[in-house]
Amino acid sequence: MFDKILIANRGEIALRILRACKELGISTVAVHSTADADAMHVRLADESVCIGPPPSKDSYLNVPALLAACEITGADAVHPGYGFLSENARFAEILGEHNLHFIGPKAEHIRLMGDKIEAKKTARRLGIPVVPGSDGAVAPGDDAMAIAKEIGFPVLVKAAAGGGGRGMKVAQTAQDLALALSTAANEAKSAFGDASVYLEKYLQKPRHIEIQVLGDGRGGAIHLGERDCSLQRRHQKVWEEGPSPALDAAQRNRIGGIVAKAMQEMKYLGVGTVEFLYEDGEFYFIEMNTRIQVEHPVTEMITGIDLVLEQIRIAAGGDLPATQDQVQINGHAIECRVNAENPVTFRPSPGKILQYHPPGGLGVRIDSAVYQGYVIPPYYDSLVGKLIVHGKTRAECLMRLRRALDEMVVEGIETTLPLFRALVRETDIIDGDYHIHWLEQYLAGQT
């Protein structure tokens, strides 16, 4: 097992990793920018190192500063969390070159899945169903129109290097194609430094359903069921739940089995998420994330498996925590991402939290690093915290979520709590009857 882990992240996920380290008896090193000197994970870590000024590129993405922090503190492993360097294959390799462990998948798998075109090819080869689309990148000389007509309009232009919903443009008809291609390519070029794009059938009313996997890197791999992340705004998840209201055990076992087998064949190491769109009973692979995800607590609540702790154990050479048969889905969990944003305009609302009261009671979990008097800096994401609620059934879970939301107090800044309080009372939500466009339609007053 590792002696000392450096946590190369901030906010709630840094605290989440710190908690797993404490339980395993591993010493912790927090790194922080000058804007995060007062952060909770910095206060609670055994040691802390300031790695630079507020902009991420000078601090949380600053590889030489992180290596120096490992060297100074004698850390033997690095947990990257999500975002920042978590899906940077080169970072994983550099750590290896310095005899440091990267707590995450093999660099080759991070690189493979980071290129969505290669990821789709791999998925297809491993027997995973994919969204119909172009065979690979659509190059300038290609007859994009012929490819799009073959797929059938509407089509979606997507960036090979895409992430966070960027570099994605819909062409409803043939007239829109040229503009969609050039805008997506330009956006991809400026956001990711890679203008390659590909085409996909634009599905009308799918759900976003993702399968959580865990692999030992030696050919052992299991799936831990699904999360339904269909409630999105601008392709960003807002509310996640598991199990999906749309799936039954047979469908779960079928797609979970296909994914687990693919991960076994790849000899995948650590945690990962295979994302699908689901429409009319069919699954279509869109991408794989090779890191711990924001919404991982949903799976933890319904399986009882601590994903971050297992990530660390597996990175140290440990075995999987369970066989597939031992994995049981118990009850239902819902996560709300409470952001420091205006609940109507979604304008970021950084600033000082004057009053903070997290809800409690049976089945209620808060993953957050804020406290009363904490100032949310304007430089990073706007997540205040995740409220995760568990119940024996979906109905019980909704009942608990309703009262937990009413109990939660965050004052001094604007938050998206009022949006969740309204959502949890909506008939379609109560019925589990929603798809990836539902939330935007609701916000536009069209439901």
Which residues form the interface with ligand ADP (CB under 6 A)?
131, 156, 162-165, 200-203, 208, 232, 235, 275, 277, 286-287, 436
Residue 250's φ and ψ, nearest 5 degrees, are -65, -45
The answer to whether residue 234 is catalytic is: no
Q: Which is nearer to ligand ADP, 213 or 405 (CB)?
A: 213
- Exposed e or buried b for every residue in 342-376, given b needs 16+ CB within 10 A? bbeebebbeeebeebebbeeebbbbbbbbeeebeb
Residue 156 vs 383, nearer CB to ligand ADP: 156
**In contact, 370 and 10? CB cutoff 8 Å:** no
Structure tokens given for 339: 């952001």
Quick one: 421 exposed, middle or buried, by C-beta within 10 A (0-12, 13-18, 19+)? Answer: middle
Rounded least distance, CB 47 to ligand ADP, Å: 34
Tokens 């692979």 -> residue? 285
Place of tokens 């597939």: 324
Catalytic one of 207, 291, 394, 400: 291
- In the bound state with ligand ADP, the residue whose beta carbon lies nearer, of 36 and 87, is 87
For residue 225, the one-letter residue type is G
Shortest Å, Cβ 159 to ligand ADP = 8
Minimum distance of ligand ADP from residue 336's CB (angstroms): 17
Shortest CB 163 distance to ligand ADP, Å: 4
Give the nearest distance from C-beta 385 to ligand ADP in angstroms. Answer: 22
Name residues whose C-beta falls within 8 Å of residue 94's C-beta, 6 or more positions apart in sequence. 63, 67
C-beta of 444: minimal distance to ligand ADP in Å? 16
**DSSP characters over 233-297:** ETTEEEEEEES-TT--HHHHHHHHHHHHHHHHHHT-EEEEEEEEEEETTEEEEEEEE-S--TTHH
Q: Which is nearer to ligand ADP, 47 or 279 (CB)?
A: 279
- For ligand ADP, the closer of residues 49 and 439 by Cβ is 439
- DSSP characters over 62-91: -HHHHHHHHHHHT--EEE--SSTTTT-HHH
DSSP letter, residue 369: -
Closest CB to ligand ADP among 283 and 356? 283
Minimum distance from CB of 236 to ligand ADP (Å)? 8
Comparing C-alpha atoms, which of 218, 213, 222, 224 is closest to residue 317? 218
Residues in contact with 428: Cβ distance below 8 Å, sequence separation at least 6, in sequence order: 434, 438, 447
Closer CB to ligand ADP, 204 or 393, in the complex: 204
Which two tokens mark 308? 């971050």
Residues annotated as catalytic are: 291
